[in-house]
Amino acid sequence: MPTDTPPEQASVYRDLAARCGANQIACLKADSCSMAPLKQRLDAWRQAGNVGALPYLDSWSAILTDPFAARPWARSLLVLSFSPQPDPASPLLQLPPARPGHPAATIARYALRVDYHRHGQTILDQLRYAIAGDNSPDAQFDACVDSKPVMEKELALLAGLGVRGRNGLLRTPGHSCQAHLAVLFSSLDLAQHVLTPPTSLHCGDCHACITNCPTHAIGKDGILTVRKCRSWLANEKRGPLSWLEQLALGPTLFACSTCTSCCPDDSASASASASASASASASASASASASAGAGASAGASAGASAGASASASAGASASANNTYDARRPAAPHGDYAVDAEELLRMPSAELSRLIAGTALDHAGATQLKRNAAAAFAVQSSPEQRRARQTELAALSNSPAVTQTIANWG
């Protein structure tokens, strides 16, 4: 879809982005934008075996594939990208840091940043006032930051904000896969503005994300097999984990960013956006980083050496099932490592207090403890697991945790 925005109007959108704190802003129109690609992508996602993995996508398919039909009053749809913001005061830095020689659990680095839902909402509030101000009191808006049935990524592709990477994520100029997306529907009749992303954003011959995905969850077409993804297992999968699921989850406590971190073009934007949070957490995670070593995997943790041979053999036996293989190094990145056992011992009320208002609040204290139990297990030998099983199970009265421990292989 070529842009039909005159240069002076394009300049207006650039100025809006600068004023509101966005990287880019584009505008799609209800009467000139085909939503067919949204249905095609959702159908392809389902055909990849993902039906039921995220039930809300199944129940909201009609709204997802035709967002204007669900908002008949909307005439314009603003799509924007914005950068993650470091949070040096993140309460997650108060979680027990990893100790050398002890099993650790990793938190994807984005979770230690300012919550992107709140950050994106602030940007959309500023954008709404900038385009309506006090002169359009009857204007209607609907703001979406990964919190409503909206296919933000597909809309961003239609708007030309970037291209689809092999990891299925949107690659945007100057920020690669690291930018977040937000959408603002408006009843105002705004000028359409569709961008043309640079050809340099395309992946070319690079397959780093596919090669480094620890569970082989990424297909060649960029379609994710959701149930294989560590982020799904850690963040979305409810209830106890089977032993094979624990092997697949590996040392992950919350989320996985391997497919973005290993992207060669991410290095500059990632180091810039992570610098403040990295320096804030450096002292807390210094011992974890030191023991992880220069060649440690993205999912490997400070305590991996304690059970390296055990988890390697466990991963080897499960590798045929695309589960966690501790022998496969992935691209190093700035995940934050916490002590798995200390997290299990932490009172749930205290853990809930620390994660309140952060990305980890989505999973909740019980699920995080379940994941910590899995992280402990895959980094321990069979003998260590048997010796500690009863003791660690007694720390929780949640079936999700106790049954996960009972499932240790």
Which residue would you say has higher pLDDT here, 351 or 322?
351
Cα distance between residue 323 and residue 316, in whole Å: 9
Q: Can you give the pLDDT at residue 115?
A: 92
Residue 282 has pLDDT above 70, yes or no: no
Which residue would you say has higher pLDDT here, 40 or 224?
224
Residue 238 has pLDDT above 80, yes or no: yes
Which residue would you say has higher pLDDT here, 350 or 298?
350
Which residue would you say has higher pLDDT here, 271 or 19?
19
Largest Cα span, the chain: 71
5 pLDDT tier (thresholds 50, 70, 90):
low
**Low-confidence winner among 164-178, 238-252, 338-352 (lowest mean pLDDT):** 164-178
**Low-confidence winner among 32-46, 71-85, 91-105, 186-200 (lowest mean pLDDT):** 32-46
Q: Can you give the pLDDT at residue 34?
A: 75
Domain assignments of the chain as residue spans, ordered by start? 7-85+114-201, 91-113+206-406
Cα distance between residue 57 and residue 149, in whole Å: 8
Cα distance between residue 70 and residue 339, in whole Å: 46
Helix (H) or strand (E) holding 80, with range, is strand 76-82
Q: Can you give the pLDDT at residue 36?
A: 81
48 pLDDT tier (thresholds 50, 70, 90):
confident
Q: Can you give the pLDDT at residue 66?
A: 85
286 pLDDT tier (thresholds 50, 70, 90):
very low
Residue 294 has pLDDT above 60, yes or no: no
Look over the chain and give the mean of its residue pLDDT values, rounded to a whole number.
82
User: DSSP for 95-124?
Assistant: SPBP-TTS-EEEE-GGGGSSPHHHHHHHHH
Residue 309 has pLDDT above 80, yes or no: no
Residue 278 has pLDDT above 50, yes or no: no
Q: 364-399, pLDDT tens digit by residue?
A: 999 999 999 999 999 999 999 999 999 999 999 999
Give, to the nearest 10 degrees, the angle between helix 7-20 and helix 116-132: 130
Which residue would you say has higher pLDDT here, 371 or 296?
371
Residue 281 has pLDDT above 80, yes or no: no
Residue 266 has pLDDT above 70, yes or no: no
Q: How many alpha carbons fall within 13 Å on the CB side of residue 285?
A: 26
Cα distance between residue 81 and residue 174, in whole Å: 11
Which residue would you say has higher pLDDT here, 321 or 345?
345
Q: Can you give the pLDDT at residue 333?
A: 59
What contacts 388, CB < 8 A, 6 or more positions away?
376, 380
Residue 118 has pLDDT above 70, yes or no: yes
Q: Can you give the pLDDT at residue 53?
A: 73
Which residue would you say has higher pLDDT here, 283 or 192?
192
Provide the terminal-to-terminal Cα distance of the chain, rounded to the nearest Å: 53
Q: 207-223, pLDDT tens digit by residue?
A: 999 999 999 999 877 78
400 pLDDT tier (thresholds 50, 70, 90):
very high
Write a three-state SS string for 221-263: CCCECHHHCHHHHHHHCCCCCCHHHHHHHCCEEECCCHHHHCC
Q: Can you give the pLDDT at residue 62?
A: 72
Q: Specify the pairing of strand 24-29 against strand 336-339.
A: unpaired
Amino acid identity at 19: R
CB 157 within 8 A of CB 1: no
pTM of the complete model: 0.79
Q: What is the DSSP letter of 50?
A: I
CB 402 within 8 A of CB 396: yes
Q: Can you give the pLDDT at residue 307?
A: 33
Q: How many CB atoms lie within 10 A of CB 9?
A: 16
CA distance to 273, 311, 323, 376, 377, per residue, from 387 (Å): 43, 16, 24, 13, 11
Q: 58-106, pLDDT tens digit by residue?
A: 666 777 778 898 899 999 999 999 999 999 999 999 999 999 999 999 9
Residue 155 has pLDDT above 80, yes or no: yes
Q: Give the pLDDT mean for 38-49.
A: 76
CA distance to 12, 165, 270, 273, 278, per residue, from 178 (Å): 25, 12, 7, 9, 16
User: DSSP for 169-223?
Assistant: SEEBTTTBTT-EEEEEEESS-PPPB-----GGGS-TT--HHHHH-TT--B-TTS-
